[in-house]
Structure 1
Amino acid sequence: MKPYLSPLLREQIARQGKYRCACCLGTEELAGMPMTVDHIVPSAAGGPDTEDNLCLACRRCNEFRGTQTHACDPESDETVRLFNPRQQKWNEHFQWSEDGTEIVGKTACGRATITALRMNNPEIMVARRLWVSVGWWPPDD
């Protein structure tokens, strides 16, 4: 049975993540469902339930990630580690497309993470276009 995460630890992780998905930067309000607490190193691979191994994630990013820790960079064909929000800065690995609807990888890690987590899947692209049209997207920080 999976160990219980205390409400205090969950709130601390959420607050540190600005209540957004650590990967796609989506919010609960825009997703229409609660965020999950994701293990950066999956529990199945021995990852602990500690603050430095946990981040907030939307259900979509969490499910697409699954137990992956590495993925192939589509540009270099090199296998690299996925983005680690506890050790890396989002804006060093990702940026928004000019129209604000697509996450663009700036590094091998960013590109591999986008591909592995399907961060620009067709469904989210439709939602982002709608969010942009009403001024809710992209995040400005």
Structure 2
Amino acid sequence: MPRRYITVAEQQQVIERANRRCEYCKSAMDYSSQPFEIEHIVPIAEAGETSLDNLALACGGCNGHKYTKVEAI
């Protein structure tokens, strides 16, 4: 399946669903000094899809740490 961009409407839905907090560490988007990103829970590299069920709001630190990982101890 070809990769598609995340629409502005999808971005807004993810942000609202997450209550403007990182879905991993729960830091507040409004008080963070780092930018937040919409990321794929199951990465595109692992055949993840661009759908609302596979998108999460993440702070730059969490998204950078997660990268393409899908499992943890």
Q: Secondary structure at the match of 2:9?
A: helix
Q: Secondary structure at the match of 2:72?
A: strand
Q: Which amino acid aligns with 1:71?
A: A
Counterpart residue number, 1:46? 47
Taking the aligned partners of 2:63 and 2:35, their CA distance within structure 1 comes to: 12
TM-superposed CA distance for 1:2, in Å, is 5.0
Taking the aligned partners of 1:27 and 1:35, their CA distance within structure 2 comes to: 10
TM-superposed CA distance for 1:28, in Å, is 2.2
- Poorly superposed stretches of 4+, deviation over 3 Å: none
TM-superposed CA distance for 1:57, in Å, is 0.5
Counterpart residue number, 1:122? none
TM-score normalised by the chain length of structure 1 = 0.48
* Identity within the alignment, %: 31
> Bigger relative contact order, structure 1 or 2, given CA contacts below 8 A and separation 6+?
2
Taking the aligned partners of 1:2 and 1:58, their CA distance within structure 2 comes to: 23
How large is the RMSD of aligned CA atoms in angstroms? 1.5
Counterpart residue number, 1:35? 36
Asked whether the equivalents of residues 20 and 30 of structure 2 are also in contact (C-alpha less than 8 Å), the reply is: no
Q: Which amino acid aligns with 2:58?
A: A
Gaps of 5+ in 2: none
Taking the aligned partners of 1:56 and 1:15, their CA distance within structure 2 comes to: 9
TM-superposed CA distance for 1:30, in Å, is 2.4
Q: Deviations over 1:61-96 (max 9, x none)?
A: 000001111122xxxxxxxxxxxxxxxxxxxxxxxx
Counterpart residue number, 2:26? 25
Q: Secondary structure at the match of 2:57?
A: strand
The count of residues paired between Structure 1 and Structure 2 equals: 72
Q: Secondary structure at the match of 2:31?
A: helix
Q: Which amino acid aligns with 2:8?
A: P
Taking the aligned partners of 2:17 and 2:67, their CA distance within structure 1 comes to: 22
The 3 A distance-change label for structure 1 pair 2 and 32 is farther
TM-score normalised by the chain length of structure 2 = 0.88
